[in-house]
Amino acid sequence: MAADALDDGAVYDEARAWYEANWDPAMPVGRWWQTLADSGWGLSWWPNDRFGRGLSHHQSSIADRARRDAGAFGPPNGIGVTLVAPTIFHHGPERLLDRFLPSIASGEALWCQLFSEPAAGSDLAAVATSATRDGDTWIINGQKVWTSGGHLADWAVLMARTDATVPKHRGISFFIIDLHQPGVDVRPLRDMTGDSEFNEVFLTDAVVHHEDLIGELNDGWRAAMTMLSVERDLDAVGHDGGGDVINDVDLSRPAGEVQYEQAHGTESSGFSYSTGSRKDEVTMALVSDTVATDAVVRDAAVGAYMERQVLDWNGARQVNASAVKFQNAELCRRLRDLGFAGGGMATQLGRADQPDGGHFLKSALFAQGMAIAGGTDEIQRNIVGERVLGLPKEPTPTAPTAPA
Ligand SMILES: Cc1cc2nc3c(=O)[nH]c(=O)nc-3n(C[C@H](O)[C@H](O)[C@H](O)COP(=O)(O)OP(=O)(O)OC[C@H]3O[C@@H](n4cnc5c(N)ncnc54)[C@H](O)[C@@H]3O)c2cc1C
């Protein structure tokens, strides 16, 4: 019977049995990820014939719970798994799936997202990076910024202007670009957590192949919007692709060892935004003593717990992506404030001094970033107001909608 025809309990049982039979902490990470890819359980929300099982987000989170209960390490993670693959599933072409999916599913290739520019963030349609046709290739010139994981990535999805003569949303195309080439200069930026997880990327006569176009020429806006909507959905539930890591893991190391380091926050390098419910667990553990004696902290802890329950429910059922992304940003801020209010001096110490490896402090400092990345809170409010509630469009300097 196909897994997508199973009820929730049967999905759990089948996944759990598979993990119990196959998980081996001594197996090198690369082999474990390949085993997961071949089974379809690791990326169970991908299609049946493409390293997945075609499960809904709701059922894939059940399969993922079975994995955690079996103590098994998760599949590879990051933008390739969570954003690039779903966007190509939606917009094609098939040849890009054939070419890129195997190395994404096995964790061999890391990806990043070249959308934002110094003058194109919320107003993403203003992207100025140009793509000029040269036979079967396109020559790319421009600057991107805030590129998460750009310093680790092998490939990127790129928004570039292929026609400057049409209205701005219409002249954009969506390409795959190889980052290992002379025209690409990646310069890390340091954020307030002290890490350098995002970058500036300068593109000077970089080359993209026409066959690496996602969707149609000059229709990149639609593909980019698909990707942003997937991102908001996943951000919203703190979804981490079912996995534990977004790092450039050494694939030859024992999976159990890497899993331990990830779980205890002792990994020495890499790219690991505080995703998923781990930040909840860490924060709740920090305040567990104070909760017993301080009614205000107890109230805040219950509030954060309730918000997580609602968020997970909304996310799993794919309620409006902007609304749940906004709710996730709010939960991140709540957990930050809760930890600082009830966690005492432990929350103020340097990261190396922390029993949790500094996970709380990093999440807390990073909390405001969740309200910006993938579209700011204000933009999510606009989307919900205009597209869900049907409010009038907000006036812009170039196209006023209010009567004169
Ligand atoms: C942690 C993190 C990771 C990121 N990773 C990536 C990445 O991998 N790839 C990538 O391409 N980008 C990435 N970004 C960039 C992110 O997408 C942009 O920062 C975001 O879209 C906002 O754009 P901006 O910074 O240019 O701010 P602006 O668009 O200049 O906005 C500034 C302020 O004005 C407000 N504002 C703007 N327009 C409106 C409006 N119409 N109505 C109301 N308020 C408005 C905004 O809400 C914000 O408060 C990342 C950002 C962060 C924080």
Measure the CA–CA gap between 109 and 46, rounded to whole angstroms: 17
Instruction: Tell me which of 3.40.50.1100, 1.10.1740.10, 1.20.140.10, 1.10.1040.10 is the CATH number of domain 274-388.
Output: 1.20.140.10
Query: What is the number of the ligand 1 atom nearest to the C-alpha of 118?
Result: 26
Cβ-proximal residues to 105 (8 Å cutoff; 6+ apart), any chain: 33, 37, 42, 43, 46, 51, 75, 76, 81
What the block records as the tokens of 239 is: 């979804």
Mutate to test the pocket of ligand 1, among 122, 198, 370 (most ligand atoms within 8 A of CB): 122
Strand ranges (E), 110-152: 111-114, 130-134, 137-144
Which residue, 125, 118, 89, is CA-closest to 105? 89
**Residue pLDDT, tens place only, 119-159:** 999 999 999 999 999 999 999 999 999 999 999 999 999 99
The protein residue with its alpha carbon nearest to ligand 1, atom 52, reads 373
Domain 110-229: assigned CATH number: 2.40.110.10
**Residue pLDDT, tens place only, 286-341:** 899 898 899 999 999 999 999 988 888 887 777 888 888 888 899 999 999 999 99
Q: What is the pLDDT of residue 261?
A: 78
Distance 371 CA to ligand 1 centre (A): 9
pLDDT band of 44, cuts 50, 70, 90: very high
Q: Higher confidence at residue 148 or residue 359?
A: 148
Q: What is the mean pLDDT of the chain?
A: 87
Would strands 198-209 and 130-134 be described as parallel, antiparallel, or unpaired? unpaired
**Residue pLDDT, tens place only, 174-200:** 999 999 999 999 999 998 878 888 899
Which residue, 280, 281, 282, 302, is CA-closest to 291? 302
Q: How far is CA 309 from each of CA 26, 275, 330, rounded to the nearest angstrom?
A: 35, 16, 13
Residues identified as active-site: 231
Q: Is residue 271 over pLDDT 70?
A: no
Q: What is the pLDDT of residue 175?
A: 97
pLDDT band of 361, cuts 50, 70, 90: confident
Query: What percent of the chain shows pLDDT beyond 70?
Result: 87
Q: Cβ atoms within 10 A of the Cβ of 391, count?
A: 11
- Mean pLDDT in residue range 98-103: 96
Distance 7 CA to ligand 1 centre (A): 40
Q: Is residue 265 over pLDDT 70?
A: no
Measure the CA–CA gap between 287 and 65, rounded to whole angstroms: 25
Q: Domain 3-89: state its class.
A: mainly alpha
Which residue, 23, 15, 25, 1, is CA-closest to 45? 15
**Residue pLDDT, tens place only, 54-73:** 998 888 889 999 999 999 99
Rank 166-170, 203-207, 223-227, 310-314 by mean pLDDT and report only the highest. Answer: 203-207
Residue whose entry in the numeric block shows the structure tokens 């002379």: 182
Distance 121 CA to ligand 1 centre (A): 5
Kindly report which listed range (4-18, 152-166, 267-281, 283-297) carries the lowest average pLDDT score: 267-281
Q: How far is CA 118 from each of CA 115, 129, 163, 201, 369, rounded to the nearest angstrom?
A: 10, 11, 20, 11, 17
Domain ranges of the chain: 3-89, 110-229, 274-388
Distance 375 CA to ligand 1 centre (A): 5
| Lining residues, ligand 1, CB within 6 Å | 112-113, 115-116, 121-122, 146-148, 198, 369, 372-376, 378-379, 382
Cβ-proximal residues to 271 (8 Å cutoff; 6+ apart), any chain: 78, 148, 149, 152, 197, 246, 247, 248
Measure the CA–CA gap between 120 and 186, rounded to whole angstroms: 18
Measure the CA–CA gap between 271 and 86, rounded to whole angstroms: 21
